[in-house]
Amino acid sequence: MTTLKYFGTSITVAIYDAGSAQAESVLCDSVNTIERLHKLGSDYDTYDNIVNIKAINNAPTEVHKIEPELAEIIAAGIEWHQLSDGYFNIAIGPVVQVWRRYRNQCTALKMANDDCLIPTDKELIDAIKYSDISNIKLNKTVGTVSMAEGMSLDLGGIAKGWMAEQVYQQLVDAGVASFVINAGGNIRHFGQHPEKRLFTTAIEDPICKKANFEPAKCNQFDNQFHEIVAAEDIAVVSSGNYLKYFTVDNVDYHHIINPKTLFPKTTGISTTVVLNDNHIYADVLSTTLFLMPLDKAIKMAEDLQYVEAVWYLDKHGNKKTTAKFDKYRLNYNSTDFVSK
């Protein structure tokens, strides 16, 4: 097993049965792949001899020659903008950066709630002018991309699923028979547990998680997780309002920005998706289904044959699920879980 810090989170690759592979060698290859994709997808830093998202954002109107993998993920982001009716937008970077600046200022200065501020409507309206995804000019054939002046890309809603699937395929191709990838709560299973059973994933209760499990009810194991799912060769990903946020006038503002309103969504707590195919899009779908109005989100999930989902709706623990989510639910009597 190896654990490292990339993509703004802790990433663990745990091999349970190396099969025909050399565990140490394939783990080393996994680390190299994660580091390489992190550098390609980063919108925080540039790196020598690498054309990454930050480099593109720094000079959006230039024609950048990019790696095929980066071209593929940008193309997927453009496609999902249409599939999601605009709720997923990799061109939302200018708006995200405005919110990030306010959140970082509030966090860094450790201000009291009344001293923190949120962006003005004018700042957000000015930023969204530079978020028209049709102004991304991508040529996958030759591997080039450019954008309009002032634009910037943000792969935060797709990058971890992209990385996890690349590592997954690398491990499978090397002959590894059983493993789990945990990318900051983005779970990807393959094979069976050494005890000859399905891998299980415990999905943390978001209310308890947000409160650092301090409330009395959160001391009980059964209350720490709101769902337990079990299956073979699946991806499990959650999106919600309970981790990255800052507070202004007793209102929490989380990091998932709705492209329709330019603000964090104000209803719902979290959405968890379970995918048995097209696993690379687990991140995209958890984000999209969290941001969409509930009825629209349920319809979209029901229309996709490879995804089931559960919505944690409010502080009282009310939930909605897709019709076939029960096929993944586990009635458990064990504490041997991968927690999410």
Please provide residue 55's backbone torsions phi and psi, each rounded to the nearest 5 degrees.
Answer: -65, -40
pLDDT for the residue numbered 93: 94
Give the pair of three-digit tokens for residue 243: 């981790």
Give the pair of three-digit tokens for residue 102: 């306010």
In contact, 144 and 66? CB cutoff 8 Å: yes
Please provide residue 324's backbone torsions phi and psi, each rounded to the nearest 5 degrees.
Answer: -110, 15
Phi-psi domain of 226 (left: phi exceeds 0; alpha: psi -120 through 50; beta: other): alpha
pLDDT for the residue numbered 111: 58
- For strand 2-6 and strand 9-17, is the pairing parallel, antiparallel, or unpaired? antiparallel
List the end-to-end C-alpha distance of the chain, in Å, as a whole number: 18
Residue owning tokens 């096929």: 327
**pLDDT values of the chain reduced to their tens digit, one per residue, 340 residues:** 777 788 888 999 999 999 999 999 999 999 999 999 999 999 999 999 999 999 999 999 999 999 999 999 999 999 999 999 999 999 999 999 999 999 988 887 765 555 789 999 999 999 999 999 999 999 999 999 999 999 999 998 999 999 999 999 999 999 999 999 999 889 999 999 999 999 999 999 999 999 999 999 899 888 899 999 999 999 999 999 998 899 898 899 999 999 999 999 999 999 999 999 999 999 999 999 999 999 999 999 999 999 999 999 999 999 999 999 999 998 765 444 555 5
Which parts are annotated binding residues for Mg(2+)?
157, 283, 287
pLDDT for the residue numbered 220: 87
Which parts are annotated binding residues?
157, 283, 287
Region 53-146: CATH code: 1.10.3980.10
The CB density around residue 193, as the number of other CB atoms within 10 Å, is 18
- 2 forms beta bridges with 13
pLDDT for the residue numbered 332: 60
Q: Report which of 247, 249, 245 is spatially closest to residue 114, judged by C-alpha positions.
A: 249
Rounded distance, CA 210 to CA 269, Å?
10
Please provide residue 191's backbone torsions phi and psi, each rounded to the nearest 5 degrees.
Answer: 80, -160
The whole model's pTM is what? 0.92
In the chain, what are the domain boundaries? 53-146, 159-339
pLDDT for the residue numbered 334: 45
In contact, 83 and 287? CB cutoff 8 Å: no
Rounded distance, CA 246 to CA 256, Å?
12
Which residues, including other chains, have CB under 8 Å from residue 10's CB and lie 6 or more apart? 3, 4, 182, 184
Question: Which contiguous run of DSSP H or E holds residue 81?
Answer: helix 68-83
pLDDT for the residue numbered 339: 54
* Burial state string for 196-215 with b = 16 or more CB within 10 A and e = fewer than 16: eebbbbbbbbbbbbbeeeee
Which residues, including other chains, have CB under 8 Å from residue 43's CB and lie 6 or more apart? 53, 54, 57, 93, 152, 153, 154, 155, 156
Give the pair of three-digit tokens for residue 276: 């048995």
In contact, 197 and 23? CB cutoff 8 Å: no
Domain 159-339 has CATH 2.30.30.90: no
Which residues, including other chains, have CB under 8 Å from residue 164's CB and lie 6 or more apart? 181, 183, 186, 188, 235, 279, 280
Per DSSP, the three-state class of 117 is: coil
Which residues, including other chains, have CB under 8 Å from residue 269's CB and lie 6 or more apart? 206, 207, 240, 241, 242, 312, 313, 314, 315
* Amino acid occupying residue 21: A
Please provide residue 170's backbone torsions phi and psi, each rounded to the nearest 5 degrees.
Answer: -65, -45
